[in-house]
Amino acid sequence: MSTTSDGTRAVRAGLPAPRQYEPTLPGPVFAAHFHLSGEPVGPYTYGRDTNPTWTLLEQAIGELEAPGERVETTVFASGMAAVSAVLLSGARAGDIVVLPDDGYQALPLVREQLEAYGVRVRTAPTSGDAQLRALDGAKLLWLETPCNPGLDVCDVRRLVAAAHGAGTLVAVDNTLATPLGQRPLELGADFSVASDTKAMTGHGDILLGHVTCKDPELSAGVRRWRKVVGAIPGPMEAWLAHRSLSTLHLRVDRQCGTALALAEFLSRRTDVTGLRYPGLPTDPSHPTALRQMRRFGSVVSFVLADKDTAERFLAGLRLVDDATSFGSVRSTAERRARWGGDAVPEGFIRLSVGAEDPDDLLADVENALAEAAR
Ligand SMILES: Cc1ncc(COP(=O)(O)O)c(C=O)c1O
């Protein structure tokens, strides 16, 4: 599959070899245990350890994360299960971990857990290379690029080179980009991690996550952690996720195209400030994004005058649901400050572009901006 292009790869990823009278994508295998006599060796023994539906999905994700390479993927019950598997499975008292201070808002909860275990946590913003000054003695550097919700981007290759020089492992949370937008392992990272609740599955109806590694030892640690904490996906979710991957390129291409059109439209508005989209040529992250990303994601962030204006804007949208999360085929937007935890102004909007017709979506946003101004 290494010579095929993104769309073809997504459509065929993880499919078993054709077998007469078998479906192209076998259905979900619901099993807590498998027939097993004699020595308890795999591939399928007990449902918390392995499941044939996960195996196919893990193969599919691996083919997208690192086409043509030997990698190991472990799927989890949610993005946070995948994030915690990398951050907590290898953590030992006295270790140093570097986290972004502008990443996903549940990271501070993991930080508290790490510190409770005696791990020292340093933080650095995503942009500006401040991570370089935090690497001394660190065991793991955690990057989230583009970061959620600020959409800053860091130079993964440069940070990996410095981190590996200092003996530090690097994990990249690739949720926003998906492997069609950015391939962290190709950029040198040791772990590519994602919440597949977002664009990977793309319909706003599944929670899922994954970790992909080249190094079998690192992968074994992650897989062991899944067994220990039991953060396993249900077979139905895993199967739906695999089915959804076959349209990943269609969804992501459409969403990225419309997101850029929306960002261009918003850049001409005087009632919008703080506009961010890494694909916009004028965005501060664009030069770095261009070097390492192939698609720039579905999320556009911007700031309206104040909380009330932002709430009127959200209420005025007809095609965009006021809801959290991102990456769905149905557009969503929210006033991010309502959660607390993100360092954003009260009028900060995170809008995730769906697969609607671009003209309809832009007209809806324009209309809601007019209603917000009343
Ligand atoms: C960048 C990022 N990483 C991880 C997560 C956690 O994923 P989940 O909600 O699937 O646990 C999220 C959720 O929004 C996220 O945005």
Question: Mind listing the pLDDT tens digit for each residue in 90-126?
Answer: 999 999 999 999 999 999 999 999 999 999 999 999 9
Average pLDDT (310-316) is 98
Nearest C-alpha to atom 2 of ligand 1 is from which residue? 104
Which ligand 1 atom is the nearest neighbour of the CA of 147?
Answer: 1
Q: Is the beta carbon of 76 within 6 A of some atom in ligand 1?
A: no
User: 2 pLDDT band (50/70/90 cuts)?
Assistant: low
Q: Is the beta carbon of 197 within 6 A of some atom in ligand 1?
A: yes
User: 3 pLDDT band (50/70/90 cuts)?
Assistant: low
Phi, psi of 269 (to 5 degrees): -95, 140
- 248-372: CATH topology is Aspartate Aminotransferase, domain 1 (3.90.1150)
Predicted pLDDT at 168: 98
Question: Mind listing the pLDDT tens digit for each residue in 205-238?
Answer: 999 999 999 999 999 999 999 999 999 999 999 9
C-alpha 79 to ligand 1 mean position (Å): 5
Tell me the C-alpha distance between 154 and 147, whole Å: 9
Strands 72-76, 96-100: parallel, antiparallel or unpaired by DSSP? unpaired
C-alpha 246 to ligand 1 mean position (Å): 22
Q: Show the DSSP H helices in 126-185 as ranges.
A: 156-165
Question: Mind listing the pLDDT tens digit for each residue in 235-259?
Answer: 999 999 999 999 999 999 999 999 9
Report the residue among 197, 211, 350 best suited for mutation to probe ligand 1: largest number of ligand atoms under 8 A from its CB. Answer: 197
Predicted pLDDT at 352: 98
Q: Is the beta carbon of 67 within 6 A of some atom in ligand 1?
A: no
Nearest C-alpha to atom 9 of ligand 1 is from which residue? 79
Average pLDDT (332-358) is 97
pTM score = 0.98
Which ligand 1 atom is the nearest neighbour of the CA of 196?
Answer: 10
Phi, psi of 169 (to 5 degrees): -75, 155
The residues pairing with 143 across neighbouring beta strands, listed in sequence order, are 172
Into which CATH architecture does domain 6-245 fall?
3-Layer(aba) Sandwich (3.40)
Provide the token pair at 29: 């295998």
Predicted pLDDT at 181: 98
Mean pLDDT of the chain: 97
Residue 232 makes CB contacts below 8 A (sequence gap 6+) with 47, 48, 51, 54, 76, 77, 226
Question: Mind listing the pLDDT tens digit for each residue in 141-199?
Answer: 999 999 999 999 999 999 999 999 999 999 999 999 999 999 999 999 999 999 999 99
C-alpha 206 to ligand 1 mean position (Å): 12
Q: Is the beta carbon of 78 within 6 A of some atom in ligand 1?
A: yes
Which ligand 1 atom is the nearest neighbour of the CA of 197?
Answer: 10
Could you state, in order of their start, the residue ranges of all structural domains in the chain?
Answer: 6-245, 248-372
Average pLDDT (32-58) is 96
Q: Is the beta carbon of 297 within 6 A of some atom in ligand 1?
A: no
- The distance from CA 88 to its chain's CA centroid, rounded to whole angstroms, is 18
Tell me the C-alpha distance between 244 and 89, whole Å: 29
pLDDT higher than 90, residue 1: no
What is the number of other CB atoms lying within 10 angstroms of the CB of residue 8? 12
